Amino acid sequence: MIVPHVVNFGLLFGAITSWGILFPFLDSKRGQWYHTDSTTSLNGANGYKIFIGITMIITEGLFNFIKLLSVSSIDYYKKRHENDSGSIKYMLTSPSLNYDDRKRLEVLVGNQIPLFVPVVGYIGCAIICSVSIPWIFHHVTFYHMALLFVILPILTFCNTYGTGLTDWSVAQTYARFLLFIIAALIAKPGAIIASLAVCGVAVASLNVSSQAMQDLKTGYMTLTNPRAVVAGHIYGVLIGSIINPCIFLAFEANAKNSAPIGSKDSEYPCPSASIYRAIGLLGKRGLDQLPDHCITFCLFTFLITLAVETLRLVSQKNDWKLQNFIPCITAIALPYLTGPYYSIDMTLGSVLLIIWGKMNRKNAELLSSAVAAGLICGEGIWALPSSILSIFNVHPPICMKFLASGQVHIVDSFVNTLGTR
């Protein structure tokens, strides 16, 4: 309800084109283009899903990054020569904005963080990590960390941009992409450990930036000073850097000595660890391990994304009505990476908001954000009792799962074997 309709319907379109059209086609090519049945291996069908989705997100993110950089440079040049922020004044005084929106913009724009603060902070963190990480992990060199901190701002912008549009972060996907790239660049003994260490740093950075975007959006709605939001994040990171290792040590102390924490036989397993190691191993062996035609699909996706973004830019420049109907590529890409399940929820929210607006437009504009916030908070609060029930091994009495038509016979054969035992 708080996400634009074009984004929500873009999610639905992405779910239909991926899980309804493209992925069934790729499944039909098993044995011809790839030869593994694993759903997590990058040299199988999952390789197409990950790389096509990442190509769309990174292409759109880079396009908007370059566009934003160009617009900001031109605006900065004009301000230096005209000493006037005309665009901001127009936004604050535009009659199309109501009092609340003008007040929100006034708080947001009037309390901007000076540019040198994040720049100095980023450079400082980069220097600290570039010195400390190679000292902890000897397979990682200073040059690996320097390369990471050169690439990271672009990926962070892309992920934060997508999070701002959809409230959905794909930091893990970007981290897997970096894991693959770093392992491919090193391509020698120790590449997997080095790429996993770099991946951990990338995940932390990407998650912090995407969470900051969500909190700044909340602060915008509640008239919270952006500086207070950023300060809260800094305090949280400092506190977390102390608490998180303590939590890990507590889990490690309670784990069995015969099964290290994170292993599949441990009381606290980490199933994704083997997946990340497999991605690093695949990157070390090179792009030849990717399934057939994967690079071709990525190139085709890159060209389509570039064409759509160019059309959007031209339509906005000429004020065409078409601009309101051009889909968001990042929204289309998310179902490729995370699955289609939440696309229906997001689209249903847009449909309900459209119906509500038809019935009572004023109430819909006034109360839709509150209703959406209540739904989000309700689902988030349920995470606490759900975690408590999981700790005490309390499971629901009924479990339901919907299977694709091609998997029904597998379940039937398994059920039949149960009766013979």
- Give the type of residue at 35: H
State the chain's mean pLDDT as an integer. Answer: 80
Report the percentage of the chain scoring pLDDT > 70: 86
- 303 has a pLDDT exceeding 90: yes
Please give the pLDDT value at position 32: 86
Query: Please, what is the end-to-end C-alpha distance for the chain in angstroms?
Result: 51
Domain count for the chain: 1
CB 40 within 8 A of CB 286: no
Helix (H) or strand (E) holding 162: helix 142-166
What value does the CA radius of gyration of the chain take, rounded to a whole number of Å? Answer: 24
Summarize pLDDT for 172-201 with one digit per residue, the tens.
Answer: 777 877 888 888 888 788 888 888 888 888
Q: What CA–CA distances, in Å, run from 207 to 101, 200, 350?
A: 28, 11, 27
Sequence-distant (≥ 6) Cβ neighbours of residue 176 within 8 angstroms: 50, 199, 276, 279
Angle, in degrees to the nearest 10, between helices 191-221 and 99-110: 130
Q: Is residue 32 part of a domain?
A: no
The dihedral sign for the CA sequence 165, 171, 172, 174: positive
Domain of 225 in residue numbering reads as 115-291
What are 262's strand-pairing partners?
Answer: 269
Q: Is residue 175 part of a domain?
A: yes
Strand, helix or coil for residue 30: strand
Summarize pLDDT for 135-177 with one digit per residue, the tens.
Answer: 888 888 888 888 888 888 888 887 887 777 767 777 877 787 7
Instruction: Specify the residue for token string 């289609």.
Output: 340
Angle (nearest 5°) at CA 196 between 193 and 199:
155
Distance CA(63)–CA(305), nearest Å, equals 9
- How much is the pTM? 0.63
Buried b (16+ CB within 10 A) or exposed e, 72-100: eeeeeeeeeeeeeeeeeeebbeeeeeeee
Q: Is residue 401 part of a domain?
A: no
Summarize pLDDT for 111-120 with one digit per residue, the tens.
Answer: 888 888 888 9
DSSP letter string over 223-281?
A: T--HHHHHHHHHHHHHHHHHHHHHHHHHHHHHS-SSS-TBSTTSSSB-HHHHHHHHHHH
- 81 has a pLDDT exceeding 70: no
Q: Is residue 200 part of a domain?
A: yes
Please give the pLDDT value at position 300: 92
Q: Is residue 379 part of a domain?
A: no
Q: Is residue 150 part of a domain?
A: yes
Band (337; pLDDT cuts 50, 70, 90): confident
Instruction: Specify the residue for token string 């000429």.
Output: 318
Q: Is residue 404 part of a domain?
A: no
Q: Is residue 376 part of a domain?
A: no
